[in-house]
Amino acid sequence: MLVYLKFWEADMIIKKLYQFVRILYGEPYDWYFKVQESSRDKNASGSRQDIIRLKIRDRLQKHSQIVCDLITNTYKTQIRNSIAHSNYSFLGRNIHPNNFIKGDPFAKLRYITFDDWIDIFHNTLVLHNQYIRMNNEINNFYAGIAKKNGNEMEIRITEKNGKHYPVILEYRPEWEDWTPKI
């Protein structure tokens, strides 16, 4: 259960999925992305659940109904909350998230069968593996370009006000990472 929680709680994963979707729409990298930490956090890109549902899942529908459905069937805030607060119990071959609220569309699960949990867990692992694959493919693609240019690549920084300017990144093959060239 903690694997499920860690996947959906990891700001880095949420951020990269959000940025992957922005790439699909030809939008610039969001240098100011931030997951909301509390309701008082006014500089955030949104709450975790809104980013996952609205800025990732719903926007993927146009490009990949399969991935959109996978996220819909896998990401459940009620399950995430239940695991995060150790608020669940096992009765028979069912997991009961002890946070059911009648009339709340995001807390309507009374129980999950073990078979349903296996599917949810499996889909989380599939998403994680695809996340790693996409991240590696993108990094390798740009590393290939950088290697042809003395391990350097120019990127564009876009400010909140729309102003943009170039920055040179240096690719470090020994670490397979990037650093600003100073």
Question: Percent of the chain at pLDDT above 90?
Answer: 93
Cα-flanking dihedrals φ and ψ of residue 77, to 5°? Answer: -60, -35
Q: Look over the chain and give the mean of its residue pLDDT values, rounded to a whole number.
A: 95
Q: Give mean pLDDT, residues 104-113.
A: 92
Mean pLDDT across the stretch 16-20?
96
pLDDT at residue 42, as a whole number: 87
pLDDT at 39 over 90: no
Query: What is the per-residue pLDDT for 94?
Result: 97
pLDDT band for 179, please (50, 70, 90 cuts): very high
- At residue 133, the 3 state secondary structure works out as helix
Average pLDDT of span 59-63: 96
Q: How many helices (H) and strands (E) does the chain have?
A: 7, 6
Q: Which pLDDT does position 41 carry in this prediction?
A: 87
Residue 180 to residue 182: CA distance in whole angstroms: 6
pLDDT computed for residue 95 by the predictor: 97
